[in-house]
A and B are shown apart, each in its own frame.
Chain A
Amino acid sequence: MSYSEKVLDHYHNPRNVGSFDNKNEDVGTGMVGAPACGDVMKLQIKVGKGGIIEDARFKTYGCGSAIASSSLVTEWIKGRTLDEALQIKNSEIAEELALPPVKIHCSVLAEDAIKAAIADYKAKRDKAQDGENDTAEAPVCLPEKTTV
């Protein structure tokens, strides 16, 4: 399989690798995929004032395209508001990285990871604002136990 220049670049020099402490209230964590399927992405966002994503980190178990997709979205979501970040579509990721059809699911996973991280952040925030009010949106594709 041949990879695009951009996939190779992100694979060899992944951006924003690492983890934030999930106990911090300004951190949202999304973990999507499954080891049995060959891909797991963990995406974390640090949200500042005005709902702007100040920083992002990722760790990915998966093929080169999965690593590149998650590395790319950490760059894209930084500086965006939560709503803006939610607008990112998997097709944009796939196009930017020139992913072949068999690797489209990597971009889908990256989009899901953004949504899951934002949902997790919002759930934490709502809980902090009103402990009684349990209207928080269920995290998408989040494993039952969050670990970090």
Chain B
Amino acid sequence: MKAFFLPSIKLTIILIVLLAGIYPLAIAGIGKFTPGNGDGETVTYKGRVVGFANIGQKFTKDKYFSSRPSAANYQADASAGTNKGPSNPDYLKTVSAAIDTFLKHNPTVTRSQIPAELVTSSGSGLDPDLSPAGAQIQVARIAKVRNISADKINSLIAANTEKPLLGLFGPAKVNVLKLNVALDELK
């Protein structure tokens, strides 16, 4: 073992410099030229930074599109999922309660129209998106609170919908924060 000890230590030190020093610094240098300059892309409203494009936010007011339920309560320094199993009786009760709450806030919606993502929590607790259906189902409520036509809001959703990658891969989605900013900008 002795013959291997010193070379091991030296090799370790050199590789720490290369792999934990030089490599990430090079990536950080390249990151300066990316959108957001490597600090994370932000969203602004009226000249004020109101959040990060990729980090979901909590929206409790009826005039905004609400995001998905979150085990982290959208605290972006403590990401978490519920980790509840699909057969857990307590978990199923919370889903059932979330359905009731949603129906109370959206009285024109029927139960069978609610997409599951609106009553289940995401993996990160910071999911920034909804499916287009998850946004459309909230239109009637928002139209009523804001006193604007449903058509206007629907076209806003259409404008903010990101299609599958190259039109081929993965689901379509709507960024809730960007959508709500667009909503506020309507007036």
Partners in one complex: no
Binding site for B on A (CB under 8 A): none
Binding site for A on B (CB under 8 A): none
